[in-house]
Chain A
Amino acid sequence: MQQGGVSGMRSDGLVSRKRGRALRGGAAAALAAFAAVAIVGGPTPEAGAQGAPLTTTEVEEIVADCLFMASRVATRPDLTVAVVDPEGNSLGVFHAAGVPADAAERENRAATALSKAATGAYFSSDDQTFSTRTAAFIIQDHFPPGVRFFPGGPLYGVQFSSFATSDVNPIAFGAPGSTPAAALLGGATSADYPVPAAAEMRVRGDLGGLALYRGRKRVGGLGVDDGRHDGRLTIPNRVLSPDGCRDEYRISFSNLERARDLERIAVAGAGGFLAPGRIRATAITVDGITLPYAKPTRLPRSRAGALTPADGAFDPAFPLRDASTILSRFSDTVLAPPPGAGPDARDYVGQMPAAFPVQAGSDGILTAADVSRILWQGARRASITRGAIRRPIGLEMQCWISVVDTNGEVLGVFRYREDATLFSYDVSVQKARTAAFFSDDKVAWSCRAVGLFSQAFYPAGQQDEERAPLFQLQDGITVGLLTGGIPPAGFPLRNGITVFPGGVPLYKDGVLAGAVGVSGDGVDQDDIVADDAATGFKAPLAIRCDASTGPELRNSLRRTLNRLESLVPAGPAGVPATLGEVGLCFFHERLRVCRNALERTEFDVKPSWVKFPRHPGPVTIR
């Protein structure tokens, strides 16, 4: 219904065309030219074919457009702009001239902007694109947010993944040679107990991040930040207060809109590198709910000029880089079928990270051949499962499949195929480690079941009931332990836990052998792939948590919490003195709350083990 100034083009609903009145002369032409670029996603680029990496000139253009838009939005924020490549490597972080010179402040802003940029890039692929607004939408206590009695979002708690301290896939990478964790720890941000700055460097659900596309191919991510905290979604600066963790620890969704200007700037700055409309989150529904991408943005009527030194400068820790000089962390792999797989078995082409080759379990239970078989079985199911979040409808799903042993060591990772979303790398390992940690020889837990006991409300979404027993245990482990700088050596949950579905434990000869975690598409799709990957190593039905009684579940969770406590040093006796002690204190606080809640919980509703999609197939487009 919106009649644009450019004939023949449907408005995509993102760039607002509400003003139907005629614009004068040159402004009209400029708007038409600029808007045309914004809508269709860029003219054929001069520099190389579709998907060619961003050049430094293009990065500078994007930064200049962001600054130009910033000067025109009502709040005129002083911006920090970050651009990353598709694998989260920084291509440059730019501080506008008005940004305070304080080093800690700049570090914090750089961390936030990089996290937003990488979140936008990690949550997107060539077949779908999610912005940080989309991420915020799917992690709330109800899905859709604000609707009472509905269970929590499908990726509840994903913002506690891809931490800077992760051994798998931190959210962003700096200049070659720098370690993000060391560069960002320290620096109090308020008078009260601060949150470690590294806690801000993770998947972010704050407005201002999105992926960049050249034509139909993803070429990177863009994130903008203004240093303000009131528009942020999670983890306020003050984590601890004298009376323990506060109820408003998770800021409500309504605060999110305070950063609306940042979203406008990111959309305007992305310009010709915006994703095509047909793969944006608004074309995708989860349980019938349309995912948001970004609210409509009115573009400025003229273009930005080139960057000048007066505009600001790139952060020396994250200088302007040429994307074509960066090597991928992943190499193409062919996964062959295991022996005895049958005559119809075929190879599956994907990627594996150099950091985690296929290996046998450190606990001596799973062999390398077992791991290969599990990965292959998962890829086989993924190849016949329709991608719930990919467009057009009918494409196969793509996902990361990870296997860990009982100590949390990664035994093998397979990316089926080369376009599976990158946030899923860290999350698939998290899922496997979660399933392995919570399960033992008496009760087996899947990530879905752990998640049902970890949301704000139990049963999920029922806000008249009590808090769930494991609520915010995830925060204690990640924000408390990991970013506080004290992940104990060999800690089985060293990149955090996942509280949404996609991981199942593996049992060999009746004994817990590890777990497999799958991430990359809708959670039901992840579940069916994980379940199929575990063929031959499935948990015995009798000990599964959906076949266990209430007391058995309570005892099992008690054992898990005890085990967790035994692996972690005791908290400080008095007031915490260092950042590390703050984190430890926070962790023990959460553990205590969970223990109390566990005793109060009535286990009268049965959790499900895994849930398959309604109709997993067919895959009609290859």
Chain B
Amino acid sequence: MRARLLLPAAALCASAAACKHAPIDGNADPRSVETSRAVHGGGKPGDVTKGELGPAAREAVKFLPHGAAGGGPQPGTGPGDLARDEVPVPDRWRIGMPAWERGSRSDSPWDLGHWADPYHQNVLKGDYPLPGTQNTFLVLEATSISLVEKRKNPTPSGVFTRSAGSEPFFGNFHSRTQAETVTLSADLFHGETSFRPVDWRVFVKGAFNWNYTEAEENFALFADPGKGDTRQDRHTALQQAFFETTLASLNAKYDVVQARIGTQLFNSDFRGFIFYDEALGYRLFGTADDNRWQWNAGYFRRWNKDTNSGLNTLRSIEQDVVILNLYRQDVLELLLPRWASEDWSHGLTSQISFHWFQDDPSVHYDENGFIVRPRPVGSVRPNESKSRYLGWANDGHIDRLNVSSALYRVYGEQEANEIAGREVDVDAWMAALELSVDMDWMRWRVQGFWQSGDDDPRDGQANGFDAIFDNPNFAGGEFGFWNRNAVRLTGSGVGLVHGGSLLNSLRSSKIEGSQSFVNPGLRLLGAGWDGQLTPTLKVVTNASHLWFDDRSSIEYVLGQGALGKEIGWDLSVGAIWRPGLTENVIVKGGVSALVPGDGFRDIYTADTLYTVFGEVILTW
């Protein structure tokens, strides 16, 4: 039983001059019991009649916890409080503050709030413990993401055509998508708000997605051409549900060892090159040496994804992932101790990682009727895949130079790679490097990316790189053409590059397909410029030149030789506008284009492809 805190009346309102009791709400006098009850809830009418407060209670009602403190009776309004000269307060968080108008309403730190107001202290935002508890907090969050996107992407005219005269292979390239995603999350934890690692936590996040897509050709959206060229779909998902606890506390600096069990979001490196997913996981993680070291050790089992929304379903894919990684902040002070006191040796975080991945053979069709496992290419047979990744990544800055890099090597085996038609040994590389310099409100950036490609698709060596489930924020991220869009390898059943990935992986689908280590690879070299034009408006621009690393695998799949090396130029411009200068309303828009090079023209057409999108993200 915790001692209830008692506030002697004398402690309140030390000097009358300091307490200005100006009403906040035009009509409400915070000193009145009715008003405070209305704002804070709690208390029973008839407990205390107006004007009959004792001396302590009379003072206590002037000192109300600011923001929205949640339920519970108003301090001082209990039946025994009338004549008391001390007033019990439920917890130390709810010690009130005098109402104090300091000029503009929104500028006052001592405002009374509303449960829906996230800008002040709010019990629904984990600023006060739940009533009746001392250290149990609840954080609720809701987001709404509304997306409209228009695309021009190579689309075959299909065997069952939409219109007469569709002799040429390629049809109408245009398509349009609208999607609305609403997520709700609840985070219940025991600790001290954000002051220290939590003792335990239960986190649940659900999502609902509605999407509508319109294309101009049959076969673009469904395997059944009879279903036409528009598609509307809905999906409700449980995106995260986990329990977290602190197993051990190592020192007084809050270095801890924690465990998190359940469906959780995990990004295995800085930019999401290998594994960035909400998967069922059993993860140990922690810090050491005053948060200079951070580490993770986890086993994950992935959920199958809903095809049209990308959200989780409640079916498990037979894919097992084990991830071990270790971060070291200010790594240069460790590696170069002689210069440890220099400024430039601080600011770079380095990471080494090991991923182990096993994908059991399976057969799976997506919701639109297309087979995704095994891939409908080469010799179609269920395929077992085992891969192991060794990685080294960096993020941060060395003096004024911002550095972000990653280097991965994957090795493993596939029992029956479809394109190779046989058992293969995997040995492939991936490297990424981004250097940038900030000048005042601008950032100048150069980037390079390399995904190795396979030089002989039919031999026993698979040298093309593929990730587990990547979602990279690189080379323009969501604003870049090659990263954002999916381009199918028309004339086959697989994709060349997938939405939310830079890799030319030749998977059937990034979210539902299995790894493919026989692919053409990618070389990328580019530059960008980001500018915070106004405090509310940021502009991101990017220009990258893309090549295939080795075209042999697509030459085999397409039966077409002598393909050119170039994919083309990826040019993009995007803007992020935050009208309220907060993260609660974000409006994003972008235009990206791919100007084809000779290799791309050999496979597709010479048309310049583009994507235009607009997105509104509301967060509460």
Contacts and interface: CB of A to CB of B under 8 A. Distances in A.
Given A148-B371, A611-B159, A459 B555 contact: no
A621 to B, nearest CB: 9
A392 interface: yes
B494 A462 contact: no
Interface string A471-504: 0000000000000000000000000000000000
A317 to B, nearest CB: 40
Interface string A601-622: 0001111111111110000100
A620 B562 contact: yes
A386 interface: yes
B93 interface: no
Contacts of A292: 379
B560 A615 contact: yes
Nearest to B222: A149
Contacts of A611: 157, 159, 166-167, 169
Interface residues of A, number: 52
B365 A148 contact: yes
Interface stretch (B195-203, B223-231, B566-574): B223-231
Nearest to B378: A290
Given A605-B226, A611-B159, A287 B491 contact: yes
Contacts of A283: 458
A282 interface: yes
A608 B460 contact: no
Interface in B368-390: 369-371, 376-380
Given A149-B371, A288-B489, A465-B226, A606 B160 contact: yes
B183 interface: no
Given A393-B555, A546-B166, A452 B223 contact: no
A292 B369 CA distance: 25
B392 interface: no
B335 interface: no
Contact of A144 (B160, B380, B422, B560): B380
Interface string A376-418: 0000000000101000111000000000000000000000000
B111 to A, nearest CB: 60
A510 B56 CA distance: 105
A336 interface: no
B166 A289 contact: no
A104 B422 CA distance: 43
Interface in B469-493: 489-493
Contact of A614 (B169, B223, B422, B459): B169
Contact of A150 (B376, B555, B558): B376
A170 B170 CA distance: 38
B477 to A, nearest CB: 30
A1 interface: yes
Nearest to B420: A290
Contacts of B103: none
B454 to A, nearest CB: 14
A15 interface: no
B163 interface: yes
Candidate in A13, A290, A604, A610 with the most chain B CB atoms within 10 angstroms: A290
Interface in B120-178: 156-170
B23 interface: no
Interface residues of B, number: 53
A567 interface: no
A615 B491 CA distance: 10
Contacts of A461: 223
A615 B602 contact: yes
Interface string A536-550: 000001001011000
Counting chain B CB atoms within 10 Å of each CB, which of A606, A610, A612 scores highest? A606
B218 interface: yes
A215 interface: no
A394 B561 contact: yes
A286 B603 CA distance: 15
B210 interface: no
Contact of A544 (B164, B425, B602): B164
A289 B378 CA distance: 4
A289 B161 contact: no
A205 interface: no
A604 B161 CA distance: 11
Nearest to A527: B167
Nearest to B554: A288
B444 interface: no
B330 interface: no
Contacts of A146: 380
Contact of A620 (B167, B459, B559, B561): B561
Interface in A582-608: 604-608
Interface string B402-441: 0000000000000000010111010000000000000000
B24 interface: no
Contact of A462 (B162, B226, B379, B602): B226
Nearest to B418: A290
A338 B286 CA distance: 83
Contact of A284 (B226, B559, B562): B559
B556 interface: yes
A605 B160 contact: yes
A146 B365 CA distance: 12
A288 B421 contact: no
A531 to B, nearest CB: 7
Nearest to B161: A608
A394, A465, A605 interface centre (most CB from chain B within 10 Å): A605
Contact of A13 (B422, B490, B603): B422
Interface in B586-618: 602-603
B559 A608 contact: no
A289 B377 contact: yes
Given A285-B378, A452-B160, A149 B166 contact: no
Contacts of A614: 156, 169-170, 490-491, 558, 560, 603
9 contacts: A285-B492, A394-B561, A460-B159, A605-B160, A609-B165, A611-B159, A614-B490, A614-B558, A620-B561
Interface of B: 156-170, 218, 223-226, 365, 369-371, 376-380, 419, 421-423, 425, 458-460, 489-494, 555-562, 602-603
Given A149-B371, A288-B376, 4 more contacts: A547-B164, A547-B165, A606-B163, A615-B169
- Closest 8 pairs (CB-CB, A-B): A288-B492, A1-B460, A393-B561, A547-B164, A149-B223, A614-B169, A605-B160, A546-B164
